A and B are shown apart, each in its own frame.
Chain A
Amino acid sequence: MLEVTDLECVRGDRRLFTAMNFSLRPGELLHVHGPNGSGKTSLLRTVCRLMEPAAGEIRWCGSPVRALAEDYLAQLLYLGHLNGLKDELSGRENLAINATLAGSRITPQQTQEALFRMGLDGYDDLPVKLLSQGQKRRVALARLLLNGAKLWILDEPFTALDSVAVKTLQAILAGHLDSGGVVILTTHQEFVIDAGRVKRIHLGA
Chain B
Amino acid sequence: MFAAVRSVLIRDLMLAMRRRADVLATLIFFVIVVSLFPFGVGPDAELLRVLGPGVIWVAALLAAMLSLGRLFAGDYSDGVLEQLLLTPQPLAALALAKVLAHWLLSGLPLVLIAPVLGLQYGLSGEALRILVITLLLGTPVLSLLGAVGAALTLGLRGGGVLLSLLVLPLYVPVLIFGAGAVDAGLSGMGVEGHYSLLAAFLLGALILAPWATAAALRISVE
Mark A residues whose CB is within 8 Å of B: 48-52, 70-71, 73-74, 76, 78, 80-89, 93, 96-98, 100-103, 127
Contact = CB atoms under 8 A, between A and B. Distances in A.
A78 B88 contact: no
B78 A87 contact: yes
A82 B79 contact: yes
B189 interface: no
Interface stretch (B14-22, B98-106, B148-156, B160-168): B14-22
Nearest to B80: A84
Contacts of B127: none
A57 to B, nearest CB: 18
A70 B88 contact: yes
Contacts of B87: 73, 101-103
For the complex of A and B, list the 6 residue pairs with the smallest distance between their C-beta atoms, beginning with the closest.
A82-B79, A74-B88, A84-B79, A100-B7, A84-B83, A88-B18
Contacts of A97: 7-8, 11
Interface string B42-57: 0000000000000000
Given A80-B79, A101-B7, A103-B88, 13 more contacts: A70-B89, A73-B88, A78-B86, A82-B77, A82-B78, A85-B79, A87-B78, A88-B14, A88-B18, A93-B14, A101-B83, A101-B84, A102-B88
26 contacts: A50-B86, A52-B222, A70-B90, A71-B88, A73-B86, A73-B87, A76-B86, A78-B83, A82-B77, A84-B79, A84-B80, A84-B82, A84-B83, A85-B79, A88-B19, A89-B14, A89-B18, A97-B8, A98-B83, A100-B3, A101-B8, A101-B84, A102-B87, A102-B88, A103-B4, A127-B18
Contacts of B85: 50
A102 B86 CA distance: 8
B35 to A, nearest CB: 31
A41 to B, nearest CB: 12
Place the interface of chain B in its size category: 20 to 34
Given A48-B86, A52-B222, A74-B88, A85 B4 contact: no
Contacts of B77: 82
A97 B13 CA distance: 13
B186 to A, nearest CB: 45
Interface of B: 3-4, 7-8, 11, 14-15, 18-19, 74, 77-80, 82-90, 94, 221-222
Nearest to A88: B18
A35 to B, nearest CB: 23
B88 A83 contact: no
Nearest to B89: A101
Given A50-B221, A70-B88, A73-B86, A100 B14 contact: no
Contacts of B86: 48-50, 73, 76, 78
Contact of A84 (B7, B11, B78): B78
A97 B222 CA distance: 24
A80 B79 CA distance: 8
B82 A80 contact: yes
A80 B80 CA distance: 10
Contacts of B94: 101
Nearest to B218: A50
B4 A101 contact: yes
B205 to A, nearest CB: 25
A165 to B, nearest CB: 19
Contacts of B3: 100
Nearest to B75: A86
A127 B14 CA distance: 12
Nearest to B12: A86
A100 B88 CA distance: 11
Contacts of A52: 222
B73 to A, nearest CB: 13
A86 B15 contact: yes
